[in-house]
């Protein structure tokens, strides 16, 4: 996507042959995927076995019958992708209502939709297909995060090793492992890739600024389309992306005016208008759906006290989530001191990244002004990520639409991570240039690699994950036999995640569903069903047209629904034992 910048001086810049550039991106893409497979799936079991002295024997997980994460939220996200594909096959009928959360409307908007992954949802049917496709997309999300970071830094003017280091820092930053069950949070590669494409399309880099002869309108259009795709995944990270992209566009416009409005070319202007229109249309479409949730359920807005409960402390910047191979166990006590939801408050971007970015403030391929701007942006981004523990988040909460519905401010650490990666890449690029100049020509390339590749390996080693691969629960036979609409008991956020995954086998209409916000209808039926088959519970079921109730025996023990497994049939309700579970069917 960008030419190789070997030196700071223009005279030392050579334009690679087109075939060489093509090979670079072929290798970069393939390498990103292979690295993600190794980092997420293959290497961690053996590394964990080595670090534990054999206490954790190496075992490669089965991608069709285990799922990455805690087996809770990750199964609900696997359902989301499956539902998107199922809806597309049926002409998007009931897309926003979904088969879950019955009878609520716009239920898909209770979560990030992950709609951008809809093509994958077209492949296969049932639980095994849902799990397999989720695991594949999970790995590809890391690959895209690496490739996007690499592309952005190459376009800005970094050398290949520096670009790879930035990609590694962005894909495998330890804080990301606090969201192993949240594919919507891990899917950030489209952000950096869109910025890279837009910068290339507009002929802009950090090292050379705007170059009219480097304008590529097609890349600009591609950048807008990738940005639209990123937004379609959801607003958890997409909301900040939309605002920052708008700010970047305004800054570019102001810069263009200040420089005397240099000619851009009609094709670029048309491309920006067309691509920007698509981006705006996609953003507004999803924003409209999320606004419907706010209209239907005003309580979805988070209170300031609620946000405070999930706001990270400054020391969280030095603490790793549990799923980091290197730091997870070592930071257990420090993590516990962060309070509730400690993994989401652990914001470690990587000690190696911190060090390289710090050196990059003083030794860099970027100008002093650029470094100061990157430093300022990093500081501001960190203050926002601290939520109520920082002085600036209230501005977002009160005055920027959408942020008052965000649960976890710590997710904003993504933006400081990007800026730190740019600072670190500036240092690595300059280090490579210095090594070349200090070495005989025939040894210059080898000297540059010898100085910089170990830094890349250091970032990758620190970013090694140790993620759990949990066996997926088997769908109860009673659920397959139940007429829809149905409800599965017990119903809580943990069990309903699994029920949503089970429902990918045919997508029957059901009450069960889990989101970060529980609607009044959903809570009301959960409460009344604790006394099933009492008359109030039967009245509500009939009022909503629910035809069956499935009780999963091995899940009800110790829950408020425990008595339902031994409930007998009452007039108008039949009981059928199917395996260990029970199916209650309501008559008319």
pLDDT digits (tens, 9 = 90+) for 411-441: 999 999 999 999 999 999 999 999 988 887 8
d(CA 140, CA 145): 8
- For residue 90, the tally of other CB atoms under 10 A from its CB is 11
* 171 in Cβ contact with 186 (< 8 Å): no
Tell me whether strands 581-586 and 548-551 are parallel, antiparallel or unpaired: antiparallel
Q: What is the pLDDT of residues 293-336, one digit of tens each?
A: 999 998 889 999 999 999 999 999 999 999 999 999 999 999 99
Distance (Å, whole) CA 224 – CA 198: 7
pLDDT at residue 50, rounded to an integer: 64
Are the C-beta atoms of 6 and 12 separated by less than 8 Å? yes
pLDDT the model gives residue 41: 87
Mean pLDDT, all residues of the chain: 91
Angle at 227 between CA 222 and CA 113, to 5 degrees: 130
SS3 158: coil
Nearest to 473 by CA among 86, 226, 127, 39: 127
pLDDT of 262 reads 76
For helices 217-232 and 189-201, what crossing angle results, to 10°?
A: 160
What average pLDDT does the segment 478-488 reach?
Answer: 96
Read off the pLDDT of residues 174-206 as tens digits, 9 standing for 90 and up: 999 999 999 999 999 999 999 999 999 999 999
Whether the per-residue pLDDT at 555 is higher than 60: the answer is yes
Question: Which 8-state DSSP code applies to residue 40?
Answer: I
pLDDT band at 55 (very low <50, low <70, confident <90, very high): low
Residues whose CB falls within 8 Å of the CB of residue 261, separated by 6 or more in sequence, listed in order? none
Q: In which band, very low, low, confident or very high, does the pLDDT at 282 lie, cut at 50, 70 and 90?
A: very high
- Going by their DSSP bridges, the two strands 548-551 and 486-489 should be labelled as parallel
pLDDT for 379 equals 98
What is the pTM (predicted TM-score) of this model?
0.92
Asked if residue 452 lies in contact with residue 161, where contact means CB atoms within 8 angstroms, the answer is yes
Peptide bond before residue 490 is cis, with ω within 30 degrees of 0: yes
pLDDT at 251: 86
pLDDT value for 528: 95
CB burial of residue 351 (10 Å; 0-12, 13-18, 19+)? middle
**Residue 16 pLDDT greater than 80, yes or no:** no
pLDDT band with cut points at 50, 70 and 90 for residue 59: low
Alpha-carbon distance 272 to 582, whole Å? 59
pLDDT at 72: 87
Residue 22 tokens, joined:
């093509």
The answer to whether residue 95 scores a pLDDT higher than 70 is: yes
Q: Predicted confidence band at 18 (pLDDT cuts at 50, 70, 90)?
A: low
Please give the pLDDT value at position 1: 41
Neighbours of 525 (CB within 10 A): 20
In angstroms, the CA 393 to CA 359 distance is 28
What pLDDT score does 432 carry? 95
**Contact partners, residue 531, CB within 8 Å, separation at least 6:** 537
Structure tokens at 79: 């359902």
């Amino acid at each position: 996507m960008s030419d190789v910048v070997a030196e700071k001086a223009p005279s030392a810049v050579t334009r690679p042959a087109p075939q060489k550039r093509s090979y670079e991106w072929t290798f970069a893409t393939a390498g990103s995927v292979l690295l993600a497979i190794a980092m997420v799936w293959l290497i961690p079991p053996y590394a964990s076995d080595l670090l534990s002295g054999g206490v954790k024997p190496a075992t490669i997980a089965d991608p069709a019958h285990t799922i990455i994460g805690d087996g809770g939220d990750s199964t609900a996200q696997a359902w989301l992708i499956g539902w998107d594909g199922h809806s597309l096959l049926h002409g998007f009928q009931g897309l926003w209502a979904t088969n879950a959360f019955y009878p609520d409307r716009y239920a898909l908007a209770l979560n990030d939709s992950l709609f951008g992954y809809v093509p994958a949802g077209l492949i296969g049917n049932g639980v095994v297909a849902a799990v397999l496709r989720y695991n594949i997309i999970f790995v590809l999300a890391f690959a895209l995060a690496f490739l996007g970071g690499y592309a952005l830094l190459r376009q800005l003017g970094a050398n290949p090793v520096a670009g790879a280091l930035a990609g590694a820092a962005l894909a495998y930053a330890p804080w990301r492992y606090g969201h192993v069950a949240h594919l919507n949070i891990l899917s950030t590669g489209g952000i950096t890739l869109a910025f890279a494409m837009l910068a290339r399309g507009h002929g802009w880099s950090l090292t050379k600024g705007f170059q009219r002869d480097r304008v590529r309108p097609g890349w600009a259009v591609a950048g807008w389309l990738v940005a639209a795709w990123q937004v379609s995944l959801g607003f958890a990270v997409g909301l900040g992306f939309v605002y920052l992209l708008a700010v970047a566009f305004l800054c570019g416009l102001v810069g263009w005016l200040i420089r005397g409005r240099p000619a851009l070319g009609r094709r670029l202007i048309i491309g920006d208008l067309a691509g920007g229109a698509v981006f705006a249309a996609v953003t507004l479409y999803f924003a409209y759906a999320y606004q419907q949730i706010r209209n239907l359920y005003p309580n979805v807005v988070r209170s300031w006290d609620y946000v405070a409960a999930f706001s990270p402390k400054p020391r969280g910047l030095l603490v790793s989530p549990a799923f980091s191979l290197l730091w997870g166990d070592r930071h257990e006590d420090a993590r516990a001191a962060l309070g509730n939801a400690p993994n989401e408050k652990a914001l470690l971007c990587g000690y190696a990244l911190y060090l390289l970015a710090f050196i990059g403030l003083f030794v860099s391929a970027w100008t002093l002004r650029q470094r100061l701007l990157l430093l300022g942006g990093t500081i501001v981004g960190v203050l926002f990520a601290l939520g109520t523990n920082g002085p600036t988040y209230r501005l977002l909460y009160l005055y920027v639409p959408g942020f008052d519905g965000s649960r976890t401010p710590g997710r904003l650490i993504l933006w400081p991570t990007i800026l730190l990666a740019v600072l670190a890449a500036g240092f690595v690029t300059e280090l490579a240039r210095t090594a070349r100049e200090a070495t005989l020509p025939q040894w210059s390339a080898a000297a540059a690699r010898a100085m910089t590749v170990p830094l890349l390996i250091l970032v990758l080693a620190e970013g090694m994950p140790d993620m759990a691969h949990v066996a997926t629960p088997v769908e109860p036979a009673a659920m397959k036999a139940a007429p829809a609409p149905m409800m599965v008991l017990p119903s809580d956020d943990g069990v309903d995640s699994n029920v949503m995954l089970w429902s990918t086998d045919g997508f029957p209409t059901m009450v069960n569903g889990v989101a970060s916000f529980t609607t009044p209808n959903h809570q009301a039926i959960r409460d009344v069903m604790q006394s099933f088959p009492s008359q109030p519970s039967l009245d509500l079921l009939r009022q909503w047209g629910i035809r069956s109730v499935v009780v999963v025996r091995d899940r009800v023990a110790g829950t408020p629904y425990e008595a339902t497994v031994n409930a007998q049939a009452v007039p108008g309700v039949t009981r059928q034992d199917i395996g260990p579970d029970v199916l209650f069917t309501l008559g008319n």
